[in-house]
Amino acid sequence: MEEPKSLSELVDDAHMALFIPLELRAPDKSLDRLENVLKEASTHGHPCPRDVLEFTFTEVYSKRTSRIKIPLEKDITISYIHEGEQRSVKMKITPLLTVFYDTESGNKDKIIPITYKNTILFPAVLSLLISEIKAEPADILIDDLLIIPHHVLWPKKECRFSTEGKELTLEEYLESLKTSLQSHLKVPNLSIKFIEEGRMFVVNLRLKEKALGSSESLRDVILESFPNEVYGLSVTDEGYHTVPKEYARRRMEEWSWTTRNYMLNVLSPVSIIQIKLNVDREGLEINRMNRCRTWEGYMKSQSRGSICEHGLYFKGEYIALTFSTFHALEDILKETVGRAIPSAELREGKSASQEDTVIDTVKELREFLEELYSLKATFNKFLDLLQPSKVSRIPEVTVALDKMYELRGLGSFSDSAREKIGDISEIIQAGSEIIEQNIENQRLHNLEFGLGLADTFPIGYLLERVGVLDFINSHFGTGLKMEDSIVLMVLAIIAWSAWRGRTLKEMERFEIKNFVEMCRTRVFS
């Protein structure tokens, strides 16, 4: 066989999925409607055979998510110039909407929302399944696959593509998806927010069966001969051919992750690329142990050429759903703290003069901390839902997911989540200390006032006995009596108490302003 000049010459089949994190918001009374839609549509929205799902992913993740198939299939054509030649890539896009549901109740149709101020907000992922990929002219090139997420997944106002004969930019296409999704869900006042952070894609490339010698490691061959093409596809870099080969190879070595000689997984900051030989895996991985039915079904499913192979689809979905969840929780945290900081920068439409209207009463502070307690519990709840160690019974999957988070700049999933929970805990602790100090100050203030009144009467009696009142009356002609002196002293104590109370109030406001500034720093920095 003649030595291939490019990886494209070896590609036999390709599958792809794009993942867009999003937030759905609606009035809390709309939750039942959303659950009804889920119940009607979820059974038709599964992208993979059940045996693949059950073997690759445990119930902890797979049974806590549900997919709604959105009847918005579209044929899309992307045209571009490749080495001076006009090329076009035609494909079919099938959208699926993934949400969390409550597994503890045993009711698959009960969505897990984040409740907030008479509003339900829940994280979701819109996955776009790419199938029936056809290129003109000739066979599929790596560039044809690279151009799909490059045009569809990230904002490129100058890039246009056609869907069913109509030219659209990415923004226009996403807007059409948003409108169609709102129409399909039929929920009044439903708002949909697409999130740019966390968007990613997965690609499954099946190479021709005899493309490489069976004794060779696919990883070694790819890293040696085709590092630039795989690098370009993994990060949608259309200029990959000008990247130094050693740089591309070094990146591939850092990002590669696999447990089989006939397969290579590349985990980049924005994608998971799976390259594998088109082999009979069941025949290749002969095992002398008796296989259970789940394993046999799983092995047979591998010949279907799906992006579900080795849990590829679910890894991409999981990562995107984690980003949308974090984004939703951070949004609520910022909105909650933002109400305590009604400055022009954080609350649109408010004047800068309202900067002084920060929380200035203990009652308001208590209400604020109660919201944070609830939000902390929500963070912990979703942290448990998304824990990588519970996603798969295969340890390498957990390693792969943690590696993806590190590449995306989040570091360890658990560390990032717990850092946010730590921020909330620190705010709650600081606020609680202010409340406790305020209660103590008020108690001491009331005690001082009471003792002052109690001392007034014996002091007045002593003033009369030592002749102080006679001295004042004879020199100033005031005609004071003992009862008058007591009244004056009571008034003086009241005036002192008012001044003292005002001073304490100013101290309280100063402490709360410092507290709010700390909130601003922890949440908005």
pLDDT at 495 over 70: no
Nearest to 18 by CA among 88, 92, 90, 79: 92
Helix (H) or strand (E) holding 132: strand 119-136
Instruction: Report CA-CA distances (Å) from 271 to 130, 282, 407.
Output: 15, 27, 10
Contact between residue 173 and residue 152 where contact means Cβ atoms under 8 Å apart: yes
- pTM comes to 0.82
Nearest to 255 by CA among 403, 367, 375, 376: 403
Query: Would you state the torsion angle of the CA atoms of residues 114, 119, 120, 126, taken in this order, to the nearest 10 degrees?
Result: -110
Band (341; pLDDT cuts 50, 70, 90): low
Nearest to 424 by CA among 381, 471, 469, 377: 377
Going through 169-262 in order, the beta strands assigned E by DSSP cover: 191-194, 200-207, 256-257
Q: Please give the distance of CA 365 from its chain centroid, rounded to a whole number.
A: 27
Q: Per the structure block, which two tokens stand in for 29?
A: 């009374």
| AA letter at 11 | V
Band (349; pLDDT cuts 50, 70, 90): very low
- Point out which residues pair with 121 in neighbouring strands: 25, 114
Three-class DSSP category at 3: coil
Q: What's the CA angle centered on 322, arms 317 and 323, to 5 degrees? A: 100
Three-class DSSP category at 21: strand
The more confident residue out of 183 and 57 is 183
Three-class DSSP category at 302: helix
C-alpha dihedral sign at 46, 49, 55, 56: negative
Band (346; pLDDT cuts 50, 70, 90): very low
pLDDT tens column, 211-256:
666 556 888 888 888 999 999 999 999 889 899 999 999 999 999 8
pLDDT at 409 over 90: no
Contact between residue 122 and residue 193 where contact means Cβ atoms under 8 Å apart: no
The more confident residue out of 433 and 85 is 85
Q: Which of the residue ranges 194-198, 243-247, 376-380 has the most confident prediction, judged by mean pLDDT? A: 243-247
Please report the pLDDT score of residue 127 as a whole number. Answer: 93
The more confident residue out of 158 and 245 is 245
pLDDT tens column, 447-471:
554 444 445 445 555 455 445 455 4
Q: Is 84 left (phi over 0), alpha (psi -120 to 50) or beta?
A: left
Percent of the chain having pLDDT more than 70?
A: 70
pLDDT mean across residues, the chain: 76
Any residues with CB less than 8 A from the CB of 113 and at least 6 apart, and which?
A: 31, 120, 121, 122
Which single residue is written with the structure tokens 């509003």?
119
Q: Tell me the C-alpha distance between 70 and 65, whole Å.
A: 16
Please report the pLDDT score of residue 491 as a whole number. Answer: 54
The more confident residue out of 489 and 351 is 489
Please report the pLDDT score of residue 347 as a whole number. Answer: 40
Please report the pLDDT score of residue 33 as a whole number. Answer: 80
Stretch 487-506: mean pLDDT, rounded?
A: 54
- DSSP strand pairing (114-116 vs 191-194): unpaired
C-alpha dihedral sign at 462, 464, 468, 469: positive
DSSP 67-123: EEE-S--EEEEEEEEETTEEEEEEEEEEEEEEEEB-STTS-TT-B--EEETTEEEEE
